[in-house]
Amino acid sequence: MSYHKAEFLIATVARLLDDPMVRHVAVGAASPIPGAAALLTQAMTNGRLRVSIIHGDANNPFTDGGRELFDAAGQGRIDAFFLGGVQIDGRANINLVGTGTYPQSERRFAGSFGSAHMYFVIPKVILFRPEHTRRVFVEAVDFISAPGISTPDVYRPGGPKALVTELCLMTFHPKIARFRLETIHPGHTLEEILDNTGFEFDIPDDIPTSAEPTQTELTLLRTRISREIAKTYPVFAGQVFGADTAA
């Protein structure tokens, strides 16, 4: 069946949220694919999942911006969240500050904001970075905005559980501080992933192909979810689902 690349990533992320331990997922700003995935999971589970998209008004329950979001996370009221980074390394450290030797960074970016706090307190953090290149996936990040693991004496109920890119799905195992390749997306190869990843990761003997979106998922995406996500991300909805949706 034919589908947009974004629809494939939405469905892939949505399956990670279909977890009985995930009752409330929050999605940060500028995250249309995770946002659509959360709404798709909500629809597929008959509304079991509560979705908060911290952008716009349509699915945003917070009236005090980041402070209210961080309070909810610290109180254990958010079960899943998404983080990305300019760089991500094999220990799941993320860099949102800049590249080069800090503080004389070659390039500076928006900064960490609440990433370190969220990384520590939310049980299921999904790393989402569509671009899969050695520029992003490095041996060691230039600056640790938020660490992937902590020493045993640090209370840390949260942390990274999975990584979704344009090439594959990986899981992260904090006890050994290492990623494991789980599935390879259709049309891509292990050699392509190895060539574009700057850190080592575990490779199983048998690597499945990532599941494609089902007809049910695509129908929901192109009707109910497209209309809902267009309220928050009209340009994205127009590009992926058609111009009329974004109007």
* Residue position matching structure tokens 């009209």: 234
Q: Pick one of 3.40.640.10, 3.30.300.20, 3.40.50.300, 3.40.1080.10 as the CATH number of 5-246.
A: 3.40.1080.10
Pairwise CA distance, residues 9 & 3, whole Å:
10
Q: Strand locations in 98-174, DSSP E?
A: 98-99, 107-108, 124-128, 137-138, 160-164, 168-173
Tell how strand 160-164 and strand 168-173 pair up: antiparallel
Q: What's this model's pTM, rounded to 2 decimal places?
A: 0.95
Q: Which amino acid, residue 68? A: E
For residue range 124-169, list pLDDT tens digits in order. Answer: 999 999 999 999 999 999 999 999 999 999 999 999 999 999 999 9
User: What is the pLDDT, as a whole number, of residue 247?
Assistant: 44
Residues of the chain falling short of pLDDT 70: 243-247
Q: Mind giving me the DSSP string for 20-79?
A: TT--EEEE-SS-HHHHHHHHHHHHHTTT-SEEEESSSSTT---SSHHHHHHHHHHTT---
Q: Which two tokens stand for residue 133?
A: 């290149």
For residue range 124-134, list pLDDT tens digits in order. Answer: 999 999 999 99
- Whether 80 and 130 have beta carbons less than 8 Å apart is answered as no
> Of 148, 122, 149, 151, which Cα lies nearest the Cα of 137?
148
Pairwise CA distance, residues 214 & 103, whole Å:
47
User: What is the pLDDT, as a whole number, of residue 109?
Assistant: 83
For residue range 46-68, list pLDDT tens digits in order. Answer: 999 999 999 888 999 988 878 89
User: What is the pLDDT, as a whole number, of residue 212?
Assistant: 98
| Backbone phi, psi, residue 111, to 5° | 110, 180
User: What is the pLDDT, as a whole number, of residue 113?
Assistant: 84
